[in-house]
Amino acid sequence: MNRVPRPHCRRRGFTLVELLVVMAIIVILLALLLPAIQRVREQYNVAACANNLRQMGVAFISAAGEKPFPMGGGDLFYPSAGPNLMPRTWAGSLPQGSPFPGFPGNPSMVPATRQNQTWGLFYQLLPYIDQDPLFRNNNLTPNPSPVYAQDLQVRQTTVAIYYCPSRRSPQTIPYTADSNLGPINQGTTDYAGSTGTVANTGTQTNGLIQYRTLAPVLIRDVNDGASYTMAVSEKRMDSLLLSTGLVGTPQPGDQYGYVAGYCSDTVRTTAAPYSIPQRDDTTGVGVLDGFGSAHTFGVNVLFADGSVRMVSFEVDPTPRNTPVGLPLTVFQMLSHRADGGTVKATDIE
């Protein structure tokens, strides 16, 4: 019996032209989708950043209560010439305001607060953001000197809500100049308290956050209304120094940690040339002062009543006359607690 041979079937593959067409379609789809994905991610980051500030707002109001608003701490170094960083101030057997604890490791010792605390605003907020054990931490380790050892864990800990997700995840920055602590990596912060339109030099300011030896601010001192007086906002930084390969690089205004006293790491001014919020710098030089962010459209601001709103980068930069006789931009008016001027919601959009 003769078998009829079957025709040989060849499976035809894609031609080069067809492959190129498919690849072109994929590239076009990605080009359309990626910006949308990035926008969604940035919207999430903006919301997460605002939520960080809201938590700080609850802490800010809880800390104030019937008392003055939290203060910005004191000198950065001890002695003042540096480079050794100021230790915490403890309340206890030594007079209030002493930079050293009366007895390190004694559970009855508690950190001093407000005018008596040399460490800054973000350390003083810890008990009100569910970080009381970190605030009170006074466990000793064998090294270095016991006077400073109880501060190490606090300095080295990163606090998640102190970082804006648009800029970076929680990270530490090195400090190697302290002969007491030795080389350490410190937690930092992407936010800063507002000293108003006066440079943060330790003199009385027209903002909410004061140097520890000056008169603290009470709610009755906020003549412009708590809902339009800035308490905390995002500090402007150099994003190039936060990029891959440079993560953790100290820069001006981000080198002494979140516990730092009255310096541009933790308090900022709107004094010229920082009279409007700006996008993060990209020069690699660093940013010494002022407010800004890594967001696309503006900077998140926590106001004294606990509310959070975004102030646009396009806010009017032109100074306006105010009842106190100072020509101030809209952003400066927000930072001044008693300029007497009027800021509308549409002014900051």
* Nearest alpha carbon to residue 302 among 260, 334, 271: 334
The whole-number pLDDT of residue 94 equals: 46
CB 87 within 8 A of CB 148: yes
The whole-number pLDDT of residue 57 equals: 94
> How far apart (Å, rounded) are the C-alpha atoms in residues 285 and 304?
32
* Nearest alpha carbon to residue 118 among 97, 138, 135: 97
pLDDT tens per residue, range 178-194? 887 888 999 999 999 99
Q: Is 181 exposed, middle or buried (0-12, 13-18, 19+ CB in 10 A)?
A: buried
**In the predicted model, what is the mean pLDDT of residues 143-169?**
82
So where are the chain's domains?
Answer: 40-348
Using alpha carbons, list the distances in angstroms from residue 105 to 125, 147, 158, 180, 302. Answer: 22, 10, 22, 17, 36
CA–centroid distance for 287 within its chain: 13
Look at strands 278-279 and 267-268 and give their pairing: unpaired
Token pair recorded at residue 282: 């990209």
pLDDT tens per residue, range 6-63? 555 555 667 888 788 888 888 888 777 777 777 778 888 999 999 999 999 999 888 8
Question: Which of 74-78, 83-87, 100-104, 296-300 bottoms out in mean pLDDT, i.e. has the lowest?
Answer: 100-104
Backbone φ and ψ for 317, nearest 5 degrees, come out as: -85, 0
DSSP state of 255: S
Please identify which residue in the block is written with the tokens 């690089």.
Answer: 249
The whole-number pLDDT of residue 207 equals: 93
Judged against a pLDDT cut of 50, whether residue 141 lies above it is answered with: no
Look at strands 191-194 and 230-234 and give their pairing: antiparallel
> How far apart (Å, rounded) are the C-alpha atoms in residues 72 and 208?
9
